[in-house]
Structure 1
Amino acid sequence: MTTDTTETETDRERWIALVVLCVGMLMIVLDTTVVNVALPSIQNDLGFTSSGLAWVINAYLIAFGGLLLLAGRLGDLLSRRGMFLSGLAVFTACSVLCGASTSQEMLVAARFAQGIGGAMTSAVILGMIVTMFPKPAEQAKAIGVFAFVASAGGSIGLLAGGVLTDTINWHWIFFINVPIGVVTAVLATRLLPHDRGAGLSAGADVAGAVLITSALMLLVYTMVKPAADKGWGATETLALGAIALVLVAAFVAREATAKTPLVPLGIFRSRNITGSNLVQVLAVAGMFGMFFMGTLYLQRVLHYDPLQIGFAFLPATVTMGALSIGYTDKLIMRFGARNVLIPGLVGVCAGLAWLTQISPDGTYWVDIFPAMAIFGVGAGTAFPALMTLAMSGVEPEQAGLASGLVNTTAQVGGALGLAVLATLSATHSDKLREQGKSTAEALTGGYQLAFVVGLGLALAAVVVAIAVIQPAPAMAHGAPEAELDDAPDYEAQREPALS
């Protein structure tokens, strides 16, 4: 075999490995929305109360959101490949337990353990991608694929959840993970490069690990439970939120003085890393209105069934996929990630703005479809650029940490969006009912308010992006074609490799 042939096969294996990583991520992302669709069936079968049913979601989110940062850093210190495979094994095994659950307690406990596996798996994926694809053009393409899976997977889950729940039963929303997890693990074992971290001695900060994990778990719990149920001004919400912030402050103080910190604080000196994660918290919180409130509007006002809801979100999913995979990488290389991010966020804002005009007697093609199309264009360009910025300038030994941070801010943003938008929407709907409005009018008014607030959060993300994130380096602006010419193998092989 010639050297060129060997390089071609190695390059092809890298792109196949990317697909394997993204399938692992897709399985994690799908889980939340698949379960959301099946919640009524789970409630009827296992006898959950309405408040108890929320723990099917909350148990997963608390474990997942609380452990992402720790899992990403441990991947750096031990092995990202090992962390990915271990998390995949935990997630798959716990999916079996979830599907086989015959009691409320068994399902909630299995969901918490499944969240641990999900955090271990997803925390290191982006870090592995940026080390596997060091050339800027390749990296932009690979991150675009990952960004599509991470951002659009939820809407695919709505469709998959509707199909599985309607045609078989809710148990299969978990059992379907088993063959996917096994195949992904087998391929990952063969294709993912072996790596070895610096060892726990380079960052075995037990106290820091306990502080940040406790802080994040408590923060997520506060937002998904007392804040959503009792409001942001409730005594329980304020008290738990204050404790979480104290734990975060203690963690920062610990990391500033620790000899081998779990999270070296120097990573936050980068304006692009810090700014992109702030943008993600705000943007994801605002976007949550698109998916969560949009689903409720379709279900409760337009009376769509789960399968119809899944199809209703397809325009956004298809548009995001077409842009993320086919075009955004070229735009990033040509104009720079910041100059792609900002217009993309404006597109997200435009989609949310359209949804503020929904009506009680609305129709899909007038009230929903245009917003989906506009939103898909915005998100399909914004999120690959955002993830590129979040990983920009990261040292290889901190790639897992940066990857875990990206996933953590996404989870915090989602929990924040759920708590804020759901609470405001429900409160406003109740007020409208008291004023004599019909159920449809009251619900629609609540959803409209949620979309307005979501729009405000997305606009705040635009402001942060403009004010904090620095322009792209000269490479992206001055000589994109030269950079692409430096990677002829990538240009010649990228389409065959993906196919």
Structure 2
Amino acid sequence: MAAGDLEAAGFPGIRLRSATGRWVVLTTVLGSSMAMLDSTVVNVALRHIGDDLDVDMSVLQWIVNAYTLTLAALILLGGALGDRYGRRRIFVLGVVWFAIGSLLCGIAPTGELLVLARALQGIGGALLTPGSLAIIQASFHPDDRSRAVGLWSGFGGIGAAIGPFVGGWLVDGPGWRWVFLINVPLAALCVPIALRHVPESRDPGGGHARFDVLGAALGAATLGLTTYALIDTAWWAGVAGILAGVAFVLVERRVPEPMLPLSLFQSRLFTVVNLVTLCVYAALGGFFFLVALQLQVVSGYSALMAGVALLPTTVLMLLFSARSGALAERIGPRIPLTVGPLLAALGMLLMVRVGPHPSYLLDVLPALLVLGTGMVTLVAPLTATVLASVDTARAGIASGVNNAAARAAGLLAVAALPLLAGMGPEAYRSAAQFDATFGRAMPMCAAILVVGAVIAAVGIRRPRHPQVHPECRVNCGVGAPPLETGERNE
């Protein structure tokens, strides 16, 4: 994605202090926040959704995973579409698509239709998420670009931090359907601002690029079949998923312009840091899926109280991610990417103490503070190391691959963890049963993080040209690391 394409066409760039500049930041924050919030606030609503629609545990897993599946499978394609057809155009299409999917979620009469609507939401998220930052990079004057990205990242971080609180308030107030319906008025505000104030931009070299539609389809099939095999214990789906995965690799090796360039993995550092990413976000995905249920089903929290209880992790990330990134610049990424997962693992082990009638100050808060400290320590260095592990021209696609890998890891963790922990179809309806299985699941999440720490300690070395960008410094999303366009703003 080229931020300088408008400059090449004689467009000097928007100044941040102008009214147009403020409108551009607002609309991109609104758009990206919708997708970011939806991946977190839904966890708080799951128990109420299950009770209201009378569905079992597997449907709750699919309500989370249907969204993540289409988002992870199509996010690289969404970025490519924006480069060719116009970033504003694809961003607006994504916002509209996301709003329609949200409306369908909000009125879904059954669990199965809610799952389908969530998958449609994910497609919209895949279209709008890459374009949000790309619009910022392409629209602003070079002198203001870094600050604009910082504002976009900071406001997005605030939105992510308050997401669980807002989700809990909506669930306990107007009802769980408003977790989805709230996106409709936000989209109605976002779209006209984008059409009026955001300049169109595209990659001048991307007009003749071919889309790897077959690769995207095989990637989605691999993730979907594997997820189905884990949630519904269907062996045939597992076999089909493996075959689809093999076909995906073969296609990506042979097509001239692959969605996932396998040559990226020739960089040892890129390969290692993506293995760490898989471990970290698999553990986090499984944790945040289960902990909101644990607090409500076992500990007796309301949805609002569960959302408020989880605030410390994202608040810590909002306040201290920039300092963590600066520290990693000085000492290198190896220590943060080793210590961070270990701290997060300790926080998850401490969560085992959170059972019926816990003390928030003595049981819940210490665990979340330790977990949040681990996340603060690792997220900014993780993204910065991905960007530094490849050539400058490939930083954008490398970041996209890393983001998609994180989402795929969370997807598979939500599918596999209840199975491995022995959660039955009605587990979330029984406090005793859910508490027992939660106690088995947390050590599993911690073990995955320890594996990630070992991989980091053994395999990560200081990059030759470390670079930390504003969007890497403030990130409160627990589902995936931040996307990067690959532009250098020296």
TM-score interval (norm. to shorter): 0.7 to 0.9
Structure 1 stretch displaced more, 356-365 or 300-309: 356-365
Structure 1 stretch displaced more, 109-118 or 144-153: 144-153
- Aligned: 1:422 with 2:413: no
Q: TM-score, normalised by structure 2?
A: 0.78
- Aligned: 1:61 with 2:59: no
Between the aligned partners of 2:169 and 2:459, the Cα distance in structure 1 is 43
Structure 1 stretch displaced more, 271-280 or 394-403: 394-403
1:28-52 superposed Cα distances (whole Å, 9 cap, x missing partner): 1222443343345445655656655
Equivalent residue runs for 1:33-432 within 5 Å: 33-42=40-49, 52=59, 55-102=62-109, 106-125=113-132, 146=153, 149=156, 153=160, 156-189=162-195, 190-191=197-198, 194-196=201-203, 198-199=205-206, 201-219=208-226, 221-222=227-228, 226-230=229-233, 236-237=234-235, 239-324=236-321, 326-358=322-354, 360=356, 362-392=358-388, 398=394, 400-427=396-423
Task: Kindly state the Cα deviation for residue 304 of structure 1 after the two structures are TM-superposed.
Answer: 0.8
The residue aligned with 1:492 is: none
Which protein has the larger Cα radius of gyration, Structure 1 or Structure 2? Answer: 1
Q: Is the 8 A contact 2:299 2:354 kept in 1?
A: no
Q: 1:51 to 1:279 in 2, by over 3 A?
A: closer
Identity of aligned residues (%): 31
Where do 5+ consecutive residues of structure 2 fail to align? 1-11, 469-490
Between the aligned partners of 1:101 and 1:360, the Cα distance in structure 2 is 33
Q: 1:208 to 1:288 in 2, by over 3 A?
A: closer
1:465 to 456, 470, 477: 456
Between the aligned partners of 2:119 and 2:431, the Cα distance in structure 1 is 36
Higher normalized helix content (fraction of residues) = 1
Structure 1 stretch displaced more, 51-60 or 310-319: 51-60
Matching residue's letter, 1:285? A
Q: Is the 8 A contact 2:347 2:368 kept in 1?
A: yes
How many residues are paired up?
453
Q: Is the 8 A contact 2:337 2:377 kept in 1?
A: yes
Q: 1:287 to 1:107 in 2, by over 3 A?
A: closer
Between the aligned partners of 2:210 and 2:333, the Cα distance in structure 1 is 31
Q: 1:442 to 1:459 in 2, by over 3 A?
A: same
Q: 1:126 to 1:412 in 2, by over 3 A?
A: farther
Task: Kindly state the Cα deviation for residue 345 of structure 1 after the two structures are TM-superposed.
Answer: 2.6
Structure 1 stretch displaced more, 66-75 or 46-55: 46-55
Q: 1:56 to 1:456 in 2, by over 3 A?
A: closer
Between the aligned partners of 1:354 and 1:247, the Cα distance in structure 2 is 39
1:1-59 superposed Cα distances (whole Å, 9 cap, x missing partner): xxxxx999348887985665444332112224433433454456556566556544443
Q: 1:108 to 1:201 in 2, by over 3 A?
A: same
Between the aligned partners of 1:429 and 1:365, the Cα distance in structure 2 is 32
Structure 1 stretch displaced more, 463-472 or 78-87: 78-87
3-state SS of paired residue (2:205): coil
Q: 1:338 to 1:128 in 2, by over 3 A?
A: farther
Q: 1:74 to 1:391 in 2, by over 3 A?
A: farther
Q: 1:209 to 1:33 in 2, by over 3 A?
A: closer
The residue aligned with 1:494 is: none
Task: Kindly state the Cα deviation for residue 306 of structure 1 after the two structures are TM-superposed.
Answer: 0.6
2:36 to 29, 52, 65: 29
Task: Kindly state the Cα deviation for residue 453 of structure 1 after the two structures are TM-superposed.
Answer: 0.9
Q: 1:305 to 1:448 in 2, by over 3 A?
A: same
Q: Is the 8 A contact 1:228 1:423 kept in 2?
A: yes
Task: Kindly state the Cα deviation for residue 318 of structure 1 after the two structures are TM-superposed.
Answer: 1.3
Between the aligned partners of 2:173 and 2:88, the Cα distance in structure 1 is 36
Task: Kindly state the Cα deviation for residue 309 of structure 1 after the two structures are TM-superposed.
Answer: 0.5
CA RMSD of superposed structures (Å): 4.0
Q: 1:27 to 1:294 in 2, by over 3 A?
A: same
3-state SS of paired residue (1:371): helix
Structure 1 stretch displaced more, 279-288 or 326-335: 326-335
Where do 5+ consecutive residues of structure 1 fail to align? 1-5, 231-235, 432-438, 478-499
Between the aligned partners of 1:428 and 1:45, the Cα distance in structure 2 is 19
Task: Kindly state the Cα deviation for residue 303 of structure 1 after the two structures are TM-superposed.
Answer: 0.9
